[in-house]
Chain A
Amino acid sequence: MTQWSGYFGLIFQGALVTIELTLMGSVLALIMAFLAGMGRLSRFFVLRALATAYIEFFRGTSIFVQLFFAYFVLPLLGLELTPLQAGVLALGLNVGAYAAEVVRGAVQSIGREQHEACIALNLGRWQGMRHVILPQAFLVMLPTFGNNAIELLKATSVVSLISLADLTFQAQVVRAQTGNTMVPFTTILIVYFILSLLISWGVRSLERRMARGLDGVRV
């Protein structure tokens, strides 16, 4: 019988890399989502055009192609990236583009009367956004952000193809060394599933926390 404990150690290391990638990618995606989402709502044509171009480009091409572009083509243009950096960059920018539309939709879903109330209270554009609109819009965004985070987790498996030692990569290593395919692949499928359950559970509890005190305000 093969020494499974050692191989499970490998898979565990892979899980750590996957989690690291998911967290870093999510942070970048969140930043890009707010930048681009707000950009699309901007008064200035240039900002709107930039944000739209970013969103259409990253939603229009496959994450896989973007990753290969970041890893193989950017060095030719003088930007050398480690696999981890390329992975975080591609994942964050890709999922950020999807999440940007969520930000835009959520901000637009906040009723006119809230904007009018901001004006009536003499709040500036930024103040109104920061204290009135965004706290309400964020609650609308949360469930979809959870889905986006799960999409990001699933997309991290692609980085194994640019030789980053994540779960999928380690499973391939175990497969190559033991000749057994069933055990490593079933294991990582379950690990991915548990991680995605964790994300959806985390987002749900965050949503409950943030919704506290807002009952009756939301329609």
Chain B
Amino acid sequence: MDWDWDFVRQILPTLIQGVKITILATLLGSALAAIVGLGIALARRSPNKAVSRTVGWVAEFIRGTPLLVQLYFIFYVLPDIGILLPPLVAGVIGLGLHYGTYTAEVYRAGIDNVPRGQWEAAKACNLSARQTWSYIIIPQAIPPMIPALANYFIAMFKETPLLSAITVLELMNQAKSVANTYYRYLEPITLVGAFFLAISLCSVVLLRWLERRYGKIER
């Protein structure tokens, strides 16, 4: 089968529709993962053993099971107990939760990397726990984390095709429906691959820049 440029031109508008949803899902998922990760990281440092252990186990469980199954779970099982979510919302929650458990480790490393002296200084200045976190620890911990966080957001971007399994009309799903309509797989699937490769190669450049700008921490 030969590559057909006319066919490419014909399907491009449909694929671009998909690209928009893919990018939207990545952005929303990243925002959610950033928040969930911070929540998990803070909860794991909780002095209350019950809280930190439970959160630790839940995070471990989420990290040890496939995203696809979690998406199915959110999309098909939650309606049974009365939570009916639109596909995109279910997808964003799945991505955010799954990658939140990964970003939690980045936050943990970032917070651990703040020198002890800073904690002691905060205590010496009579700052409350809340003030210590929001004025001393978090502002110093965040910048070195940025490259590692960006790395996970790029990984998430590459996982978005999974959302097609729960009927989100993102790029992969559009490509599949185009392929099924015209029964030509070569162009749509190759274009999807090329698109992801192009974005990933650009993001490598972005990552290098972030690493130069903000430094790097060991995960």
Contact = CB atoms under 8 A, between A and B. Distances in A.
A165 B159 CA distance: 21
Interface string A181-219: 110011011001100110000000000000000000000
Contacts of B172: 62, 64-65, 68
Nearest to B196: A61
A62 B158 contact: yes
A154 B72 contact: no
Interface stretch (A40-48, A69-77, A109-117, A118-126): A69-77
B92 to A, nearest CB: 17
Contacts of A68: 172, 176, 185, 189
A186 to B, nearest CB: 8
A181 B68 contact: no
A155 B189 CA distance: 19
A142 to B, nearest CB: 17
Contact of A155 (B66, B76, B165, B185): B66
B73 A72 contact: no
Contact of A192 (B1, B64, B159): B64
Nearest to B78: A181
B65 A69 contact: no
Contacts of A168: 66, 68-69, 72
B141 interface: no
Interface string B57-101: 000010011111110110011001000000000000000000000
Contact of B161 (A65, A154, A156): A65
Given A155-B66, A196-B65, A62 B161 contact: yes
A181 B80 CA distance: 8
Contact of A175 (B66, B76, B158, B186): B76
A157 B76 contact: no
- Interface core residue of B72, B162, B190, B196 (most chain A CB under 10 Å): B72
Contacts of A154: 64-67
B200 A192 contact: no
A161 B197 CA distance: 22
Interface stretch (A30-38, A52-60, A79-87, A130-138): A52-60
Contacts of A182: 77, 80
Most A C-beta atoms less than 10 A away, residue of B1, B66, B165 = B66
A160 interface: yes
A187 to B, nearest CB: 10
A90 B160 CA distance: 17
Nearest to A75: B185
Interface in B167-219: 172, 176, 179, 185-186, 189-190, 192-193, 196-197, 200-201, 204
B196 A65 contact: yes
A59 B161 contact: no
Interface in A79-101: none
Interface in B1-21: 1
Nearest to A199: B64
Nearest to A76: B1
Given A72-B189, A154-B66, A192-B65, 16 more contacts: A56-B200, A56-B201, A62-B159, A64-B172, A65-B161, A68-B185, A69-B189, A73-B190, A156-B66, A157-B66, A157-B68, A158-B162, A168-B68, A168-B69, A181-B80, A189-B61
29 contacts: A57-B197, A59-B200, A60-B158, A60-B196, A61-B196, A61-B197, A62-B159, A64-B159, A65-B161, A65-B193, A65-B196, A69-B189, A69-B190, A72-B179, A73-B189, A73-B190, A76-B1, A150-B64, A154-B66, A156-B66, A158-B66, A158-B68, A186-B73, A186-B77, A189-B70, A192-B65, A193-B61, A193-B64, A193-B65
